[in-house]
Amino acid sequence: MCYTLRMKETRINLSELYAHGKTKTEVRDGELTLWSTHSCTSYAFNLYGDSFKRHYIMLPGKYRLPLRIEMRVRLDAPLFILLVGEGHISFNTPWQDNRRIEDIVKPSGKPNQGDSFDNRLPQGRFADIAVTYNRDAMQICIDGEERLYTRKMPYMRLAQNGDGYAIRLVAPKLSALRIQSIRVMEFSAEAPIMRGDFVGADIIRPPESKPTFGTVIATLPETIRHELQKTDNFLKSLRPLKCKRAVDKNGGKISYVASDFGISYVFNISGEQSVQHFGWYLITAGKAETWHVKNDCMEETLMAIAEVDPALAERIFDALNDCTGCYSPNCLAKRLYMFAGQKRVACHGRVMFGASPADFEAARAFFRYLNQRAIMSP
């Protein structure tokens, strides 16, 4: 007996996608640009942490398995997240984010469900993404290259479909996601899969020898390496801040701590997906009720910067890492700031930047003003 594979194709009209939460969209020349004014991160998987699901654009309707999602997108900075049902796939994240995949029926909040997944995208140009959900297999391809093939996702063993699965897209405020096209194909039987050479190997391995500053930055693109070396020389020269440098034992990050002032700067090493952040950290010696920040001067420093460069002060304020509710309502790391008539609740008073030359210069400017304030303080 011969069966004909039937397929229903839905081509999404980008101008009909509406934003939810603090997500913004713009359609120009047939392309949709998506971004958010609120921090969204797939790191937030503690008991209360699903806030990245509040700021998104949603495709119309729901879609039934087996299905394939195809998108042509461009991303210039990490990251973006594809939400399907109750789960997600995160793309172009720093490698430290080990929650790149969550099951569409039974998400666990734990590291990857299924096999490892190389989620890198080529930055600065369009890429084709294809995600296939069959009843017994899942595949992710980027520009035709198989990045994941697994038969281990929990949804494959559970009741499926029901009313179908909602599909949403998330881009946090560090990113601007440009979309040229989206289409969804639903199949009457298993969707055709062309196998590649995915073997499920770990994407990142610990270095064979103890990493040093030189060996770690040698892996970075030339522009980022140059800016990081410049920032390293700058931070180490500051007085009275006295930033002490440390390299993570796995080569994943470089940290600078000015312990007398309770502030740190961290650069997470992940090639083009590298990010940097700085802010005030918690002093956690003793009982929890005694935990505190040592010397939070965020508002004063922003006001000092605004006197000379208002645009820079506003940029730093906007880059504060918004509290995403990843812990409890009584979290001690939450910091409330007021600036230029605006209010923002930030995690650890932390400012998040990408790895562009402008991002590096903004970070150095903040420390320059903070150091000047320290010099002038009695």
pLDDT of residue 267: 96
Residue 230 has pLDDT above 70, yes or no: yes
pLDDT of residue 45: 44
Residue 204 has pLDDT above 90, yes or no: no
pLDDT of residue 21: 86
CA 159 → CA 54, 109, 121, 135, 288, distances in Å? 26, 20, 32, 10, 44
What is the CATH code of the structural domain delimited by 7-187?
Answer: 2.60.120.200
User: What are the domain boundaries of the chain?
Assistant: 7-187, 213-376
CB within 8 Å of 266: residues ≥ 6 apart: 253, 254, 255, 256, 276, 277, 278
Q: What angle do CA 118, 231, 260 make, to 5 degrees?
A: 105
Q: What is the mean pLDDT of the chain?
A: 87
pLDDT of residue 237: 97
> Using CA atoms, how far apart are residues 300 and 297, in angstroms rounded to an integer?
5
